[in-house]
Structures are given as C-alpha cells and as structure tokens.
Amino acid sequence: MVLSEQDILSRAQAAFLGLAVGDALGATTEFMTPAEIRSRFKVHHKIVGGGWLHLKPGQVTDDTQMSLAIARALLQAGRWDLPGIADGFVAWMKSKPVDIGATCRRGIRDYMLSGRLESPCNEWDAGNGAVMRMAPIALFCFGDDEMLERCALAQARLTHNHAYSDAACIAVGRMVQQALRGAHRHTLHAITRDLTSVHPKFRFNDYRGHAGAYVVETMQTVFHYLFTTGSFEECLTGVVNQGGDADTTGAIAGMIAGAHYGLEAIPRRWVRRLDGAVREEVLDAAPRLVGLSPWAQRREESE
C-alpha cells in the first residue's frame, strides 16, 4: 500500500494521540487485577480518571509526559539532541509529576548528578519505561532504520539499559513506522517474529494474562491484543482490562494501533475526554516530528 504524505502525517498523529488515549484509559485500572476490574466496571471502556493516582478524567501519566518531553526537545533543537532530552526529563521530574517510575527516577537523578547520558547495564532495568516513550522517536526517525535503532537505544539508556528493553524499543519503533506506511498486519507480526527469534521470552502465542511492568509481560499483552482484535477500540479495551501496568500497556498498544488503524479509528468519545492541552500538543507535535525525519528530507530534496 502506498500512502500519500497527508495519510502518513495523519497516522503519525494517530500514533501520538493513541499513546495519550491509551495512557489516560489505562491509568484507571493500573495495579488492578482482571477480576477486580470486572467486579467494579464489568468492562472498563470509558476515560473516567480515578485509579490509584486519583486522576481527573482525561489526565495522563508519565508515559505521555515523558514522550512529550522528548518531542519538545527534538522540535526545539530541530535535530537529534540527547542532552536536550535528558534536560527535558530533569525539568519534568522537578515539576513533581503525578507519577514517576523508580528506574526512570534513578536514571534522571544520575544524569543530574554526573551528567551521564547512559545508565550502566543493569539486570533490574528490564522494565517498560523506555518503550512507553517510543512514539516521538519513531516519528522523528521515520525513513531510516539505522537511525531508529541508534536513537531508540540512546533515549532508552538514559534510564534503562537492558537487552530486553533495547529489543522492545526497536521492535515497537519499527512497528509504528511500518504502520505509518500502511503495512498490513502480517508485516507487523513479522517484526514480533524477529524479536522472538532473538529473545524467545517475548513469545505470546500462549498468552498467560500477565500485564506487569516487566517489559516481557508488557509486550506479550500488547502483542496478544493487537493481533487478536480487529479495531483500535477493541485492542485498547482488551489491554487495559488486563490491569497490571495498564497505563503503559495502554500507551504502547495505543501508539502501534493508532498508527495501524488511523486517526478516524480512535473513538471520538475518548479523544474528547482527553486533557485538552495534551490532545492539542500531541496532534501538533506529530507531523512536525515527521517533518524533521529522513523521509521528509528525502521528499524535499526530490522536489
């Protein structure tokens, strides 16, 4: 499928918006079990806030906020700027966000104290906190797989340095980029097969329903629902009703499913409930990030 420039930019918006919508939807059921969710909601499918963080309806968490910090740094610099991203994370942490993961906090503090831009490899860094912020990286690097890999690992290792986190970041970035191009589902599935061929723990054909912050569980949940459902709404609803780290599974599923299904597939009722400032910023940032990408540069040179 060959998509027009406008279609690609629209899918880019859907990826970033899908991340934020999935975050806001999933925050309500974070740390709940599926049984607890069924008891309280039957099926959780509305952006209502609450949850353990006592959020307002449509409020987002660290998944979206850290992604926006990356987007702002790149758009301000107009180029790849890892120190700028790190400084953005510092400013975000100093703003006293509603939530921040322990691994992210540690990495940001290390940068503040030492200026170090890469955390040392750590067996405890196999969380999902680097994967959740891959949307702006995928958009900025669109059209250059080597650049995607390099930038994905650089942003990840500001806070997370583990082979599973690295591999998941690259796989998610590739899935978003292929979806922007209008790739069919089997192309996205092929990326997961490449991942599981190197790291078999990510296999999801016998999904056990675990949806914690361990990046393997996170990706198994996202992949299971991405490939067993037929719409953005069905995918996101399935993911967040697994509970666990539902804001992050929702965010990651949202960025991939958003790019795959497109802007019109994201339920309007969810978009309307999303925090207005967040909604406007992600919709504005997405096409501008793609505008900095190698894909956009090649188009300009050919004109």
Choose among 13, 270, 265, 223: nearest CA to 138: 13
C-alpha torsion angle, residues 171, 278, 127, 232 (rounded to 10):
-50
How many CA atoms lie within 13 Å of 163's alpha carbon, on the beta-carbon side? 8
Rounded-to-integer distance, Cα 102 and Cα 212, Å: 15
Q: Can you list the residues of the chain whose pLDDT is less than 50?
A: none
Choose among 243, 250, 140, 231: nearest CA to 185.
231
Per-residue model confidence (pLDDT) at position 1: 66
H or E segment to which residue 59 belongs: none
For residue 250, the model assigns a pLDDT of: 98
- Whole-number mean pLDDT of the chain? 97
